[in-house]
Structure 1
Amino acid sequence: MLTQSNKIDFNGQHFYVGLDVHLKSWKVSIMTEKLTLKTFSQDPNPELLHRYLVKNFPNGIYHSAYEAGFCGYWIHNKLTALGIDSIVVNPADIPTTDKEKVNKTDKRDSKKIARSLRNGDLKGIHVSSLKTLEDRCLVRMRRTLAKDLTRNKNRIKSFLYFHGIDMPEAFSKSATHWSKRFMNWLRSLEFNESSAKKTLALLIDESQHLRLTTLNAIREIRELAQSEEYCNLVRLLRTIPGIGTLTAMIILTEIETINRFSNFDQLCSFIGLIPSTNSSGEKEVTGEITHRGNNFLMSIIIESAWIASRWDLVLNKSFHDYCKRMEPNKAIIRIARKLLNRIRFVLKNNQPYVCSFIK
């Protein structure tokens, strides 16, 4: 007996997949050029999604998008390896209606992503290589440890204030705090109840542990800076006033490659050193720097700008000229842009920076 079999083939047809990713489940919406096909939930597994697409829409061209967030880029990397055209998008750049803002659900979010992907409204963010991502984790860990250490020190000071303990004259200056003598003085304090002394001892032990861990992180970063991949670029960046080894490693791991920015304005936009604007008709208003950007990198560049403005004569003169018509905190933002331009020049041309001189 002859049987007829019609095998469905979606060769050349595009399918747009919007993913609303969560820890325990994904909400998936699939659309074509004209239709919304299906919205469903699945386990957080890229292979499972790929098998579903291949089984139900064989030989199709698959596109996917999801919001950048807690899950990082492993989903993107696996989807790309499976042959899916995947992008990771900034949540703030997804077109959203007022209805979608007021009535927010996972289903609406996944449909919104799929619709915007189909309409060509989404632009994927830069996804760094796995090597850069892992190096970035190490560099950022030092910052996290430094914050934890600062919090712990504040807890110790709050503990002293709570018990009405004043610091001796020998430790009146903040520069003397957390020295070996200061820590020995803390351990020598006596309280009416033993629980208070035990509490302070725990805080001191935690502080010393965090300090040693932070030093180990710095040691690991300096060792990484001497590797073949980074040593030359770190050496070049250190020729710029205000930039040391740690700052150079932050810049290199956050940016990855300077060639991803076609011009200086794109680099400033990525970091956040551009003003916000509110213009309408003939009225044009320029406000403070935008909240978009890499806040970690921006704070590092501004911190370096303060140092560079003291050592680079041209930057020093520019800073004082700006201060004649604005506050120093605003003037340093302009110096930070100038410093960033020098960083871009060094990385772009692969040559050391030469300090300018005023004739």
Structure 2
Amino acid sequence: METNLRNFSGESIYVGIDSHLKSWKVTVMSDEMELRNFTQEPDTKKLSLFLHRNYPGANFKCVYEAGFAGFNAQRELTSEGINCMVIHPADVPTTDKEKRQKSDRIDSRKLARGLKNGDFKSVFVPEILQQQDRSLLRTYDKIIRDTTRVKNRIKFFLMFFGLSIPDEFQGKNWTKEFINWLEKLNPGGYGNLSLQILLDEYRMLSSQTILLRKQIKELSEQARYKANAELLKSIPGIGTLTSMILLTEIGDINRFAGLNELSAYFGLIPNCHDSGETKRVGRNTKRGNVYLKYILVEVSWMSIRYDSSLLLTYKSAVRKMDSNKAIIKVARKLLNRVRFVLKNKKPYQVNMA
């Protein structure tokens, strides 16, 4: 059928995109049938041109799964007048046959079919400025993790060569004096070069950490964050860094209907199975933001030192379960405090019920 001779005004065209680094598998459907299935370069302008040329006047709806590609394709397709949705990969309805015969063609067809049937709910797509701010905090987290790794490599290097750290540096590692001591070590041969490379990496990461901390502090003092950052810092255990992580990841707190929805975003909602007379509650779901969950749990360990109300929650929970599960109870309660101060624009009062 020569689709370019037909006017599609008033009709809906559903486009499922199975995105990969070097190609997109695209399925195009109407309300009645599958129209096309093809492979193209990962180029939004080419897809837009194809759709407008072959289905003039149609109401276009696209969908792809959240992943490595981020939200750039969504923004570009939207600017081309194409309604584009980004969804959680686990939300795609799949038959047993499709699970056993997986292919890019089948995956793009599932996306187009689910879009046509109204099965999907879009994940939150942040504004580009919020995404840029997020990248600063996420990069800082990666640099801190890399720094920990290189520190451990240096320590294992010393152990491998039988080089003991002097008592004067025990518990005071990574001071200027300790680094100077490392500089003077002589493992011999290529061991000297290996140690110097590790130390160079440590220095580079340290300088990047200092730069990022400075930028994060400056960002926290900008008008769009300053007031909310101060509110969050009124909660015990939350400082400038954590407040900025929360603000850049959450965005507008009002986009969450309630605490349960916010907790789900943080991965603090348990899996459950309720069928007939059987009801089981399992571990926390893995659907949430793993990065945010990790940060909130770390803050919870700090908060119970300063907030007796949270400490009471922890002590009560730890009688029934291990400490790692008990701290999740605290994290959920702490998240409720975060939600309260951001929604009500009031600082937190320590030990508030």
Query: 1:191 deviation in Å?
Result: 2.5
Give the Å deviation of 1:253. 0.6
Alignment of 1:274-313 (within 5 A): 274-313=269-308
Q: Partner of 2:179 in structure 1?
A: 183
Contact 1:19 1:64 in 2 (8 A): yes
Q: How many aligned positions are there?
A: 350
Q: Does 1:66 align with 2:64?
A: yes
Residue 338 (structure 1) aligns with: 333
Q: Which residue of 1 aligns with 2:188?
A: 192
Residue 215 (structure 2) aligns with: 220
Runs of 4+ in 1 over 4 A off after TM superposition: none
- For 1:312 and 1:306, how far apart are their aligned partners in 2? 11
Q: Which residue of 2 aligns with 1:266?
A: 261
Counterpart in the other structure of 1:201: 196
- 1:356 Cα deviation (Å)? 2.5
Give the corresponding residue for 1:3: none
Letter in 1 for 2:194: T
Q: Which residue of 1 aligns with 2:323?
A: 328
Q: In structure 2, the residue corresponding to 1:230 is in which secondary structure? A: helix
Task: Tell me how far apart the structure 1 counterparts of residues 21 and 28 of structure 2 sit (CA, whole Å).
Answer: 20
Distance 2:90 2:169 in 1: 48
Using the alignment, how far apart are the partners of 1:107 and 1:61 within structure 2?
Answer: 23
1:155-176 CA-partner distances (Å, limit 9, x unpaired): 1112112112222122233xx1
Contact 1:89 1:122 in 2 (8 A): yes
What SS does the corresponding residue of 1:285 show, helix, strand or coil?
A: strand
Native 8 Å contact 1:313 1:357 kept in 2: no
Aligned residue in 1 for 2:240: 245
Q: Tell me, which stretches of 5 or more residues in structure 2 are unaligned?
A: none
The Cα of 1:192 is off from its aligned counterpart by: 3.4
Counterpart residue type for residue 272 of structure 2: T
Where in structure 1 are there 5+ consecutive unaligned residues? 1-5
Tell me the amino acid that sits aligned with residue 211 of structure 2: N
2:54 aligned partner, one-letter code = N
Among residues 138, 141, 156, which one is paired with 2:139 in the alignment? 141
Summarize deviations over 1:77-135 as a string: whole Å, max 9, x none: 01111111110011111111222222221111111110111111111101000000000
Residues 236-268 of structure 1: CA deviation (Å, up to 9, x unaligned)? 110011100000000011111101101110000
Structure 1 range deviating more: 311-320 or 66-75: 311-320
CA–CA separation in structure 2 for the residues paired with 1:153 and 1:121: 48
Task: Please give the alpha-carbon distance, in whole angstroms, between the structure 2 residues aligned to 1:342 and 1:52.
Answer: 50
Superposed, 1:73-222 pairs within 5 Å as 73-173=71-171, 176-193=172-189, 195-222=190-217
Q: Separation in 2 of the partners of 1:186 and 1:32?
A: 68
TM-score (norm 2): 0.96
Residue type of the alignment partner of 1:262: A
TM superposition score normalised by structure 1: 0.95
The one-letter code sitting in structure 2 at the alignment partner of 1:191 is P
Q: Tell me the equivalent position of 1:49.
A: 47
Pairwise CA RMSD = 1.4
CA distance in 2, matches of 1:184, 1:197: 14
| Counterpart-to-counterpart distance in 2, 1:52 and 1:288 | 46
